Chains A and B, each alone.
Chain A
Amino acid sequence: MTIVKMDQVTKKFGDVTAVDKVSLEIEEGEIFGLLGPNGAGKSTAINMITGLLSIDKGSISIYGKDVRKDKMSTKSCVGIVPQDIAIYEDLTSLENVKFFASLYGLRGEMLEEAALEALEFTGLSEKKNQFPKSFSGGMKRRLNIACAIAHKPKLIIMDEPTVGIDPQSRNHILQSVKKLNEMGSTIIYTSHYMEEVEEICTRIAIMDRGKVIALGTCDELENMINDKDVVVVTISEPASRVDEKSIREIPGVENVDIGENTVKITSAREVTNLDRIIQYFIQNNFTIKSVESKTPDLETVFLSLTGRKLRD
Chain B
Amino acid sequence: MTILRIIAKEIKQRIRDYKTNILMVLFPMVLIVILGAAFSSVFENGIEIGDISVLYTIDIEGGDPIFENAFGTFRQYMSDGMGVQFEETSDFEKGIRDVEGRRFTAYLHITGRPLRIDMYRNENSGFKSGIVENAVASFLDSYAAINVVVRNDPADLSEMRQPDDTGGVRVTALDRKRQPGSTDYYAVTMLTLILMYASLTGFWCIRSEVDDKTGARVLCAPVRRYQYLTGKILGNIFVTIIQGFVVLLFSRLVLKAEWGEDMFTVAVLIITYSIMTVSLGAALAFILRSAEMASGLLNTIIPVFVFLGGGYVPLYALGDTISRISVVSPVRWVNSGLLDLIYEGSYFDAYISVAINLGFSVLFISVAALLSGKRRDGYE
Binding site for B on A (CB under 8 A): 47, 50-54, 71-73, 75-76, 78, 80, 82, 84-91, 95, 99-100, 102-105, 147
Which of B38-46, B167-175, B210-218 participates in binding chain A?
B210-218
* Contact status B9-A82, CB under 8 Å: no
Closest chain B CB from A17 CB (angstroms): 16
Q: Does B2 contact A (CB under 8 A)?
A: yes
Given A52-B216, A82-B217: A90 in contact with B223 (beta carbons within 8 A): no
Binds A, one of B12-20, B107-115, B187-195, B275-283: B12-20
Check if B220 sits within 8 Å of A80, measured CB to CB.
yes
In the bound assembly, the distance between CA atoms of A52 and B12 in angstroms comes to: 26
A54 vs B223: C-alpha distance in the bound complex, in angstroms?
16
Q: Which residues of B contact A73 (CB under 8 A)?
A: 222
By the criterion CB–CB under 8 Å, are A103 and B379 in contact? no
Give the CA-CA distance A75 to B379 in the complex, in Å: 16
With a CB–CB cut-off of 8 A, which chain B residues contact A95?
A: 12
Answer whether A104 and B380 are a contact pair too, CB < 8 Å, given A82-B216, A88-B214, A99-B9.
no
Which B residues are in CB contact (< 8 Å) with A50?
A: 220
Q: Is B151 an interface residue (CB 8 A)?
A: no
Q: Is the CB of A72 within 8 A of B222?
A: yes
Known interface pairs A52-B376, A82-B216; 20 further A-B residue pairs with C-beta atoms within 8 A, sorted by A's residue number: A71-B222, A73-B222, A75-B221, A78-B220, A80-B220, A82-B213, A86-B214, A86-B216, A89-B212, A90-B13, A91-B9, A91-B12, A95-B12, A99-B5, A99-B9, A100-B221, A103-B221, A103-B222, A103-B223, A147-B217
| A242 → chain B closest CB, angstroms | 41
Question: Whole-angstrom distance between the alpha carbons of A88 and B221 in the complex?
Answer: 16
Interface size class of B (residues with CB under 8 A): 20 to 34
B219 contacts chain A at the CB level, 8 A cutoff: yes
Residues in chain B near residue A91, CB distance under 8 A: 9, 12-13
A259 CB to nearest chain B CB (Å): 33
What A residues does B16 contact at CB under 8 A?
A: 90
Chain B residue numbers with a CB within 8 Å of A100 are 217-218, 221
B224 within 8 A of A: yes
B218 touches A52 (CB 8 A): no
8 A-B pairs with CB atoms under 8 Å apart are: A50-B220, A51-B219, A72-B222, A73-B222, A80-B220, A86-B216, A87-B214, A90-B16
Assembled-state Cα–Cα distance A240/B80 (Å): 101
Given A51-B220, A52-B219, A82-B217, are A88 and B5 neighbors across the interface (CB < 8 Å)? Answer: no
Pairwise interchain contact A88-B13, C-beta atoms closer than 8 A: yes
**Contact with A103, one of B213, B216, B218 (Cβ below 8 angstroms):** B218
Closest residue on chain B to residue A83 by CB atoms: B213
CB proximity of A89 to chain B, nearest CB, Å:
8
Asked whether A53 and B376 contact (CB < 8 A) given A72-B224, A103-B221, the answer is: yes
Interface residues in B215-243 (C-beta closer than 8 Å to A): 216-224
Residues of B within 8 A of A47 (CB): 380
For the complex of A and B, 9 pairs with smallest distance between CB atoms: A103-B221, A86-B217, A86-B213, A84-B213, A72-B222, A75-B222, A76-B222, A80-B220, A50-B220
